Structure 1
Amino acid sequence: MRWRAVVAYDGTGFVGWQTQSGNGRTVQEELEGCLSTVLREEIRVEAAGRTDTGVHARGQVIAFDHAESIEDVPRALHSINSILSSEIRVYEFRQADPDFDPRRHAVRRTYRYRIWNAPFSSPFEVRTSWHVRELLEIDSMREAARALPGRHDFFSFQTADNIVRPSVRELMVAEVHRELSLVEVEITANAFCRGMVRNLVGQLVEIGRGRAPVSSMAGQLAERDRSHAAPAAPPQGLFLERVDYS
């Protein structure tokens, strides 16, 4: 039987989602170990997104196969969460279609990036936001973000050492919000290149600092040259917020 669940995690103490050989803790490895213990069967988990080192998730979607029916889902969910470390929680545990693939069947993914924009960092935000001291010009960031929705080649905004072709993606939402010292960038697309959100946020922050013109966002899209773009935003501010299916 096929099962799916929504997973949230604080990625600070992990080297990413995907299991790696001897390179530190991964979310996938800890989940598989816990599920295998509770369900008394070796479990292999698939995910909608392979988050990088230090990146968090509120709405990661996973799927796995289990030979037997799970009669008491609430009890199984309680057992899973009681064994998992406090950095990971599993929600919305339910049966899925036999062919459900959390990555290939996703139609939209939403990421949220958090920026703590104040002269001093906050001890309550240091694990989950990027501290930017200079007062950001939010209107300029919003204007630059308007260039992003639509179908574009995001070659300039993927990780330089992990170039993927084609790099055309359909971006639906790019919004910048401020509430007091917290600035959040929300980006929704059908799929993302590696490092794309952090690179887009890095460019938006350069614009917000006044170090790059508003037009530089559209210019980087057209130029297709990563070497001329702003540095990527650090990982700790990034959250996989939600994954949508048809």
Structure 2
Amino acid sequence: MRRVAIEFAYDGSDFFGYQRQNSVRTVQGELEKALERVFKIPIQTYAAGRTDTGVHATGQVAAFDCPNDKLSESDIRNALNANLPKDIYVKKVWFVSDNFNPRYEAKCRIYHYFILNSKMNDIFLRKYTWWFPYELDISKMRQGAKYLIGTHDFTALSKKGEEDTRTERTITNIRIVRLRKNLILVRVEGISYLRGMVRSIVANLVKVGIGSWEPEKVLEVLESKDRSKSAGLAPAHGLFLYKVLF
């Protein structure tokens, strides 16, 4: 039995998040159903990260033990894609060490958040961008983002729910780029994140971008460790787990 890693994409629109749940459709649930159809036995998977309801991925990574040693990487990829639903697609398969777990071995997780900054909505992008019709000053957003680089207690920029015992996280880079006239990318790079943290970062930077806050306000919110001071959460459907680096 060999351990296998897969890099895969999914459209999160019709999933109740990544993590397996008994009563609703999840990414992990569909992945493990496909594995059971291929190998005829239940197979447990281990993922690099858990995404919330409506969040997408272009580079999620999961690992599992393959019970058939005769299959090549290409065989496994083809078998999985033949059995997965249309909103999940395996891009790459490779063999890893027996104790490889992407959750613990990831060195960087990169998230992309897309903002449709246009007076008019584009209904064909409605599931993949946050339509924000008010003008955004990305130079000010970049100034605000500088306060989030480094290791900080990100309690104020997280989602209330299952509380993490350790609330310090390290953000190594935030880039804000206007990809075209009406499309803005917020790229966040870090080792790990609190629940809702990237969406909260985006919401707070947008508050700066529209001029409601000065960039320094981001630091004030961060240091408060108080979620009520935050601008809340950007919509889930604009967020993508872009890449996991090992």
TM-score band, normalised by shorter chain: over 0.9
146-155 or 161-170: bigger deviation: 161-170
- Report the Cα distance in structure 2 between the residues aligned to 1:163 and 1:30, rounded to whole angstroms: 27
Question: Contact (CA 8 Å) 2:39, 2:67: kept in 1 or not?
Answer: no
1-10 or 157-166: bigger deviation: 157-166
Which residue pairs with 1:237 in the alignment?
238
Question: Contact (CA 8 Å) 1:5, 1:63: kept in 2 or not?
Answer: yes
* 2:186 pairs with 1:185: yes
- Report the Cα distance in structure 1 between the residues aligned to 2:91 and 2:21, rounded to whole angstroms: 25
- Report the Cα distance in structure 1 between the residues aligned to 2:244 and 2:72, rounded to whole angstroms: 26
AA aligned opposite 1:191: S
- Report the Cα distance in structure 2 between the residues aligned to 1:72 and 1:110, rounded to whole angstroms: 29
Which residue pairs with 2:103 in the alignment?
103
- Report the Cα distance in structure 1 between the residues aligned to 2:189 and 2:62, rounded to whole angstroms: 19
- Report the Cα distance in structure 2 between the residues aligned to 1:48 and 1:73, rounded to whole angstroms: 19
Which residue pairs with 2:127 in the alignment?
127
CA-CA distance at 1:193 after TM superposition: 0.6
- Report the Cα distance in structure 2 between the residues aligned to 1:5 and 1:161, rounded to whole angstroms: 29
CA 1:99–1:66: 2 relative to 1, 3 Å: same
Q: How does 1:11-26 map to 2 (within 5 A)?
A: 11-22=12-23, 24-26=24-26
- Report the Cα distance in structure 2 between the residues aligned to 1:33 and 1:164, rounded to whole angstroms: 30
Question: Contact (CA 8 Å) 2:80, 2:90: kept in 1 or not?
Answer: yes
Which residue pairs with 2:116 in the alignment?
116
* 2:54 pairs with 1:64: no
TM-score (norm 1): 0.96
- Report the Cα distance in structure 2 between the residues aligned to 1:36 and 1:99, rounded to whole angstroms: 21
- Report the Cα distance in structure 1 between the residues aligned to 2:75 and 2:126, rounded to whole angstroms: 35
Between Structure 1 and Structure 2, how many residues are aligned?
244
- Look up the SS of the partner of 1:64 in the other structure: strand
- Report the Cα distance in structure 1 between the residues aligned to 2:19 and 2:118, rounded to whole angstroms: 34
- Report the Cα distance in structure 1 between the residues aligned to 2:39 and 2:22, rounded to whole angstroms: 24
- Report the Cα distance in structure 1 between the residues aligned to 2:229 and 2:7, rounded to whole angstroms: 37
Percent same amino acid among aligned pairs?
36
CA-CA distance at 1:40 after TM superposition: 2.7
- Report the Cα distance in structure 2 between the residues aligned to 1:184 and 1:210, rounded to whole angstroms: 19
* 2:161 pairs with 1:140: no
Which residue pairs with 1:163 in the alignment?
163
- Report the Cα distance in structure 2 between the residues aligned to 1:90 and 1:235, rounded to whole angstroms: 22
CA-CA distance at 1:244 after TM superposition: 1.1
Question: Contact (CA 8 Å) 1:202, 1:231: kept in 2 or not?
Answer: yes
- Report the Cα distance in structure 2 between the residues aligned to 1:71 and 1:7, rounded to whole angstroms: 19
AA aligned opposite 1:122: D
- Report the Cα distance in structure 2 between the residues aligned to 1:115 and 1:154, rounded to whole angstroms: 23
Structure 1, gaps ≥5 residues long: none
Question: Contact (CA 8 Å) 2:128, 2:237: kept in 1 or not?
Answer: yes
Question: Contact (CA 8 Å) 1:41, 1:66: kept in 2 or not?
Answer: no
CA-CA distance at 1:162 after TM superposition: 3.2
- Look up the SS of the partner of 2:201 in the other structure: helix
Question: Contact (CA 8 Å) 1:17, 1:27: kept in 2 or not?
Answer: yes
Which residue pairs with 2:210 in the alignment?
209
- Report the Cα distance in structure 1 between the residues aligned to 2:132 and 2:36, rounded to whole angstroms: 42
